[in-house]
Each structure stands twice: as C-alpha cells, then as structure tokens.
Amino acid sequence: MKRMQIAFRTDASIEIGTGHVMRCLTLADALRERGAESLFICRLHNGHLMNLIAERGYTAVALPKPPADGIKACAVPPHAYWLGTDWARDAQETRQAIGAVDCLVVDHYGLDCRWEEELHPACRHLMVIDDLADRPHDCDLLLDQSLGRTRGDYDGLLGDHAITLFGPNYALLRPEFAKLRAASLARRVQPKLEHLLVTMGGVDKENVTGSVLDALDEGTLPPNVRITVVMGPHAPWIDQVRVRAAAMRYPTRVLVGVSDMARLMAESDLAIGAAGSTSWERCCMGLPSFVLVLADNQHPVAEALQVSGAVVALQKPSQVVTHLEERLVSGTVSQFLLDLSNAAARVTDGEGVARTADRMVCEHV
C-alpha cells in the first residue's frame, strides 16, 4: 500500500512561539508510526525551528524570510501579520512546495478559508488545527483542543461537512506524558511542596520567568524548596535568567531545550507556567499549577481551566507567592495541591495524539 503523504504548514518565531510546530511534530511522529510520511513547510522567521524539524527526521521546506516590517497593517484575520507576507503569496509558495499530498495540516492563526480554498485542490483532505474559533475555515477535519469547545463556537465559520475533534482529550501530547501519567498521579496522593517547576513557554519574549524568580526569591517558602526553570533554546533572556537563578536564596537550576518534560513534570510538586499548550501536559500529569497569561489568545484557556478547578489563574507573578504564603500559614497547602491535582487529571488523559492520528488514517482509508 502507498504510504500516506502528509504536509504540515506551520511556523515558529519569537512572536509566534514554538507551540504550533512542536504539536505538529508530535502528530507527525504518531503518523509515522502508522506508516505515513510527513513534510513541513515553514517560513524563515526569526526563531524558526527548521533545524529541529530536520533533526526529528522530516523534510523541511523553507519559505522566504519575511521583510523586516512584515505586514502588520493587515487586519484579517487578527493574526495575519504572523505570516510575514500576504495570504495569497503564502498559498502560492505552499502549493509549489507540496505538489500533491493526501492530507494537508494547517496550524497557523494567520491563515483562514481563503488560503484553504486555494490549497484544497492540492490534497485529498485538509485538516485545520485551531484554538481560537475567530475566523472561517474551509476544511474536512478540524481539531480544537480547547476545554469546553463546542460546534456552536464555530457557527458560521465551518462547513456542515467538516468533521470536528474537540476538547483536551484530543490534545497533541507526546506519548511519554501518557506513559508517565499513572506514576505522576500516584506520587500526589500525599502532596508536598518541595520542587517548583517554572516554565513560561518556548520563547517568553517578555522575560516573565525572571519576574517569577524575583517574586519567589522575595517570598517565604519552605526551607527545603528547590526550583527548576525550563526555557526554550530560542528564548531571548536565557543568560539573564541564569544569572538571576544563581543569585536565588533557594536552589535553582536552569534547563534549556529539554527532551524529558514529562519526567520533570512528574517529579515536580507545583508548576508556575504560561497558559499555553503546556497546560494540557500539566493536566495530564495531574501537576498543580499557577498559570499566567502571556498572550491574548491564552485568556480562554486560563479561564476555562480555572473554572474547572485545574489551575489558579493569576494576573502577575507576585501573586504566586501571596497565594502560597496564605496556604502555608493556614496549613492548607497539602489539600490545596491535592484538589488542583485531582481536577487537572480529569481534564485529559494524554492519549489525544493517538486518537487524532487514528482518525486521520481512518479518513485516508
């Protein structure tokens, strides 16, 4: 049987972050296990991940680097400026790059139905990965891993024929999260506060990590607390964070470009993180979390998770210490961590990538 041919159109940059490319790589890995071949088409933004894609064993086609001024004046869709060019040119360049494929996967907030209509003739199936429900799509399959997402959120934005995969049980997590889930949940039956994990996404362009460390250093935490900071290799503040970590009152290590995030989460007692795609990783592991919103599109994620009881959503880093100190003084920190862990674990089981890949293969057959 001919191998299923997949093409991914997605980008990473200092502005966009790394999450879109990383979750597409996770899906590509699952599809490779099912016999598919994948191609990535990415623009050469500052902070692109072309080398990582190649290291993972995939062909990566580079679209031209955008001009320094980009297209920030374009207003439709709201993230159109992420493209670095206009949608029509991007569609033409992508069409030339992929030829014809069985499935084209689009994970890009800057693209909408106009681009998708142009590319549809180049593929048997077109799949969109979205989190925003803020623009129309012309696709055969839509994946939106947002908590509480329903078809109604896409009224007027999606054709009746489109198949939808909604909710965190379709979150594209690497298999190691599901594998370590049971062990992670087991160690939280009797919660303790000894190991804090700080992870503000792959870029953290505003150095919120540094502000979190400032707050923790000024607070009163248990004397045996240690801190692990995880940063992406393209984060612009790595050197400054390392200097700040070395001056902390609590033992603090800084890890860059880790490949074992599931293990780190399983070994952590509390996370302080961004309300992005790593939220689903923390939930799978039952890791109690404070979340900070680093981009407008993260607000719905933070609000939904807080309503579910899975996280405490905060507006600024200093509130982390205030919340912890209140519970340490009242002696309720263990119950607080246990409640967060139980609620988080109910959000997703970490098997979303297998479910998604199986559905894609089924549609292909």
The sheet carrying 123-129 orders its strands as 59-63, 37-43, 5-10, 101-107, 123-129, 141-144, 163-166
Query: Residues 23, 107: contact at Cβ < 8 Å?
Result: yes
Task: Please name each of the domains of the chain with its CATH number.
Answer: 5-173+350-364 (3.40.50.11190), 175-345 (3.40.50.2000)
Query: Residues 11, 22: contact at Cβ < 8 Å?
Result: no
Q: What is the pLDDT of residue 72?
A: 54
Q: Which residue type sits at 74?
A: C
Q: What is the pLDDT of residue 269?
A: 98
Q: What is the pLDDT of residue 183?
A: 98
Instruction: Encode the chain (365 residues) as per-residue pLDDT tens digits.
Output: 689 999 999 999 999 999 999 999 999 999 999 999 999 999 999 999 999 999 999 999 999 988 876 555 567 899 999 999 999 999 999 999 999 999 999 999 999 999 999 999 999 999 999 999 999 999 999 999 999 999 999 999 999 999 999 999 999 999 999 999 999 999 999 999 999 999 999 899 999 999 999 999 999 999 999 999 999 998 999 999 999 999 999 999 999 999 999 999 999 999 999 998 899 999 999 999 999 988 888 899 999 999 999 999 999 999 999 999 999 999 999 999 999 999 999 999 999 999 999 999 987 65
Q: What is the pLDDT of residue 70?
A: 56
Burial 231-261 (b: 16+ CB within 10 A, else e): bbebbbbbeebeebbeebebebebeeeeeeb
Distance from C-alpha of 311 to C-alpha of 309, rounded to nearest angstrom: 6
To 5 degrees, how large is the angle CA 37–CA 38–CA 39? 135
Q: What is the pLDDT of residue 363?
A: 75
Q: What tens digit of pLDDT does each residue of 167-196 get?
A: 999 999 999 999 999 999 999 999 999 999
Helices 175-186 and 333-345, axial angle in degrees (round to 10) = 140
- For residue 94, how many other CB atoms are within 10 A of its CB? 22
Phi, psi (rounded to 5 degrees) for 85: -160, -175
DSSP secondary structure letter of residue 81: G
Q: What tens digit of pLDDT does each residue of 97-132 get?
A: 999 999 999 999 999 999 999 999 999 999 999 999
Region of 256 please: left (phi>0), alpha (psi -120 to 50) or beta.
beta
Q: What is the pLDDT of residue 2?
A: 81
* pTM summary value: 0.94
